[in-house]
């Protein structure tokens, strides 16, 4: 979830009235931020010495560390106390737009319609199904509200129904460390078996015999998905059979079943390379066969149809990917035949197979496209029509192979998400559901969106999607929140958010900078924002900022930036590059101590990310990382107002990265602007569990952001 910044009054902040300013300044002048002890630790590599004076904060569960984090939380609470009522009002506003007794559009799978619904006032979903038709009696599979009672955090994932519809495997995490225990439930009796499988990803796959379960085990320390096991229902977990061990520490592994239900598949993945193994699902005790041995730089994904596999791959330099096929009996790459050729201007993202149709998800000039073709080529291929530049379209739950209906989702910056069933034969579509925005005030005709292009210093055109209320004037007076991510090839598409209305209705412009490091403009857009080209991600964001200011969408007094995780790294980098352009920056669970983390291969995710960031054990990558690592580049400068959040149990970006960063920022900051830090002591990377708890965190953030603009109601 995106985090946004607001900060309460200090001497340099402007509020609605001078009375408010004097009152808040007087109240806060006596408050001093916690001061972390400085204990120098020399970190040596490649004849270079970095001195980390806050390294001691890495000691998780140390009483002094916990005390420091709690003092930070107390400082945050006191500094923002005057917005407590505002936070509560914002929470009620955000909650008031949500249909509390909502439910998903049912989807058909193996004879049952599956539905997820929410009950009024409840935090968690209820998973149900109906046999044969929607008029059948509802069967409650999991009421997560009941299951979560007594837990500060609860996450259920990976519900996997056996082919005979009698058993459900599911994963549960109660610590927010993404260490899931897999349980098995008898859906006829309601009994949950005693056999609990620990330390997994939470997902699993049934063989076709209804008793054999394949699952992925995680490394205890690094949390890398490293092993595939086979479990037979009713037997001791200690007797589970190790099927595959992924011994390359830069790879992870997972297991699933093809949509055709004919094959079990083990996947191995790294940033640049993939490999699959296959086994007929009717033969769970058989030997998996390697589909195509891993070759560094060769990426591919497989889908099964008929007696062929279809392969989405970058083989032979197809950077934007192409589609190939091969017989299920001769799967090595020398047997692959081209189906859809590589195109320099179109990124091939995904394929969906049906009995009569092949559905292709593409991206062209940054925009999603869905292409439909018949296997028998009796009609020409065609694209679903979309008519603007700020939308998101994607295929959804298409579980049934023998269907002529494609289910896809659509939304835009101004249009709530819709679930649409499209008949690929008749080309008729039915909107099954458009998300309701309650509260009585929302009218999508009150908002406008558009895409603009900034020009970077190197001449690169950087796309920016934005949304605002109609009547916005380009006079430099609009507060503007610019969001960015830009890593792993992950693309932030223009999407609708009812929560965002809280900002838009108070005069904010919201914008997404589609910086290099994503795949918004194709695979090369990603390649140009990683490894030794990572700085492009940061300079693109700054150049987008400059453009928005120069075009008078906003000004430096009203410019804000936000990003989380790798987007938090982006925030840290821009703060060191051009802090003068921003009035406030929010960094959520930020990856800011890049060099130290990437040198520690005991930390979760580190080794698997060498192909994204580089391996700092090599001098070239070490020096480049050090040149942009936010923690290593904090300097004496006027930093803007900053709000940083983290989760104590975060397994992806450890809490100590932002904790150390904030301590150093405060030490070096030469402005009077406030730097606030809050740790959710019960949550991990994704924040609080439960839909309403998450809204409370968002309301807290919005209250701060709006306060910087002098908005108190």
Q: Which residues are catalytically annotated?
A: 565, 650, 685
Nearest to 558 by CA among 587, 584, 586: 584
Backbone phi, psi, residue 569, to 5°: -60, -45
Please tell me whether residue 24 adopts helix, strand or coil conformation: helix
Q: Which of 555, 547, 435 is nearest to 495 (CA)?
A: 435
- The sign of the CA dihedral 212, 196, 655, 599 is negative
Whether the CB-CB separation of 651 and 684 falls below 8 Å is answered with yes
Q: What contacts 643, CB < 8 A, 6 or more positions away?
A: 3, 4, 5, 6, 7, 584, 585, 586, 587, 675, 676, 677, 678, 701, 704
- Phi then psi for residue 469, to 5 deg, are -75, 145
Spatial distance between the Cα atoms of 207 and 229, rounded to a whole number of angstroms: 13
Give φ, ψ of 551 to 5 degrees: -85, 5
Quickly count: other Cβ atoms within 10 Å of residue 335's Cβ: 14
- SS3 assignment, position 542: helix
Q: Beta strand 641-647 with 584-588: parallel, antiparallel or unpaired?
A: parallel
Q: Decide: 413 and 390 in contact? Cβ < 8 Å.
A: yes
H-run or E-run covering 176: none
Cβ atoms of 126 and 144 closer than 8 Å: yes
CA-to-CA distance for 244 and 241, rounded, in angstroms? Answer: 9
CA 310 to CA 263: how far, in whole Å? 13
Nearest of 38, 37, 41, 29 to residue 71 by alpha carbon: 37
> Rounded to 10 degrees, what is the CA torsion of 106, 108, 111, 113?
-10
The vertex-640 CA angle with 638 and 643, nearest 5°, equals 135
Q: How many CB atoms lie within 10 A of CB 607?
A: 20
- C-alpha 495: how far from its chain's center? 13
Return the bridge partners of 157, or none: 171
Q: What residues contact 164, with CB distance under 8 A and at least 6 apart?
A: 210
Measured between alpha carbons, how far is 589 from 564 in angstroms, rounded to an integer? 6
**Checking DSSP bridges between strand 167-173 and strand 155-161, what pairing results, if any?**
antiparallel
| Contact (Cβ atoms closer than 8 angstroms) between residue 526 and residue 518 | yes
- Radius of gyration of the CA atoms of the chain, in A: 26
Reported as half-sphere exposure (CB side, CA atoms, 13 A), residue 52 has a value of: 22
Q: Which helix (H) or strand (E) holds 369?
A: strand 367-374
Diameter of the chain measured on Cα atoms: 79
Interior angle at CA 102, CA 96 and CA 107, nearest 5: 150
Q: Which of 291, 304, 292 is nearest to 352 (CA)?
A: 304
């Amino acid at each position: 979830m995106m985090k946004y910044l607001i900060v309460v009054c200090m001497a340099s902040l402007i509020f609605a009235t001078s009375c408010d300013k004097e009152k808040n300044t007087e109240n806060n002048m006596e408050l001093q931020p916690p001061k972390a002890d400085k204990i120098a630790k020399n970190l040596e590599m490649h004849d270079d010495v970095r001195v980390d004076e806050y390294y001691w904060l890495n000691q998780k569960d140390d009483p002094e560390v916990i005390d420091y984090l709690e003092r930070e939380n107390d400082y945050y609470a006191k500094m923002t106390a005057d917005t407590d009522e505002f936070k509560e009002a914002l929470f009620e506003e955000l909650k008031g737009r949500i249909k509390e007794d909502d439910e998903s559009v049912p989807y058909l799978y193996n004879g049952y319609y599956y539905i997820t619904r929410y009950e009024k006032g409840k935090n968690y979903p209820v998973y149900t199904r109906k046999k044969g038709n929607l008029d059948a009696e509802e069967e409650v599979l999991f009421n997560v509200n009941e299951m979560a009672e007594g837990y500060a955090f609860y996450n259920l994932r990976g519900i996997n129904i056996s082919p005979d519809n009698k058993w459900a495997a599911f994963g549960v995490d109660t610590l927010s460390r993404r260490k899931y225990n897999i349980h098995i439930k008898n859906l006829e009796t309601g009994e949950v078996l005693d056999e609990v499988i620990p330390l997994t990803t939470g997902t699993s796959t049934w063989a076709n015999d209804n008793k054999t379960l394949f699952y992925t085990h995680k490394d205890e320390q690094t949390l890398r998905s490293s092993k595939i096991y086979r479990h037979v229902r009713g037997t001791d977990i200690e007797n589970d059979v190790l099927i595959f061990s992924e011994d390359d520490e830069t790879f992870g592994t997972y297991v699933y079943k093809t949509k055709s239900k004919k094959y079990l598949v083990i996947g191995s993945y790294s940033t640049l390379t993939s490999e699959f193994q296959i086994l007929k699902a009717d033969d769970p005790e058989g030997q998996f066969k390697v589909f195509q041995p891993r070759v560094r730089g060769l990426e591919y994904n497989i889908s099964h149809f008929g007696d062929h596999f279809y392969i989405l791959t970058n083989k032979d330099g197809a950077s934007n990917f192409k589609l190939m096929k091969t017989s299920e009996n001769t799967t090595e790459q020398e047997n692959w035949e081209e189906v859809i050729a590589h195109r320099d201007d179109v990124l091939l993202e995904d394929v969906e197979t049906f009995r009569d149709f092949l559905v292709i998800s593409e991206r062209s000039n940054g925009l999603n496209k869905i292409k439909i073709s018949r296997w028998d080529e009796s009609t020409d291929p065609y694209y679903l029509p979309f008519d603007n530049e700020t939308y998101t379209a994607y295929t959804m739950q298409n579980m049934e192979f023998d269907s002529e209906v494609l289910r896809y989702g659509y939304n835009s910056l101004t249009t709530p998400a819709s679930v649409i069933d499209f008949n690929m034969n008749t080309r008729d579509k039915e909107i099954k559901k458009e998300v309701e925005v309650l509260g009585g005030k929302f009218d999508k005709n009150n908002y406008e969106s558009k895409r603009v292009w900034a020009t970077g210093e190197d001449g690169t055109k950087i796309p920016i999607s934005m949304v605002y209320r109609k009547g916005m004037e380009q006079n430099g007076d609009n507060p503007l929140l610019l969001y960015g991510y830009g890593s792993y090839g992950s693309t932030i598409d223009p999407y609708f958010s009812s929560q965002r209305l809280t900002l838009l209705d108070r005069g904010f412009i919201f914008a997404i900078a589609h910086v290099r490091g994503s795949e918004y403009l194709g695979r090369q857009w990603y390649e140009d924002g990683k490894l030794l080209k990572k700085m492009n991600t940061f300079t693109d964001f700054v150049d987008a900022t400059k453009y928005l200011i120069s075009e008078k969408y906003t000004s430096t007094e009203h410019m804000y930036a936000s990003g989380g995780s790798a987007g938090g790294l982006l925030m840290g980098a821009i703060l060191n590059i051009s802090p003068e352009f921003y009035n406030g920056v929010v960094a959520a669970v930020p990856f800011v101590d890049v060099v130290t983390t990437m040198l520690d291969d005991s930390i979760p995710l580190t080794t698997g990310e060498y192909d994204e960031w580089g391996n700092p054990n090599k001098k070239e990558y070490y020096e480049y990382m050090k040149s942009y690592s936010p923690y290593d580049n904090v300097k004496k400068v006027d930093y803007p107002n900053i709000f940083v959040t983290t989760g104590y149990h975060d397994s992806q970006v450890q809490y100590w990265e932002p904790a150390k960063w904030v301590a150093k920022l405060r030490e070096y900051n030469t402005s009077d602007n406030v730097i606030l830090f809050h740790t959710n002591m019960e949550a991990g990377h994704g924040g609080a569990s439960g839909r309403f708890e998450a809204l409370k965190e968002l309301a807290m953030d919005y209250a701060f952001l709006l306060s910087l603009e002098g908005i108190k109601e």
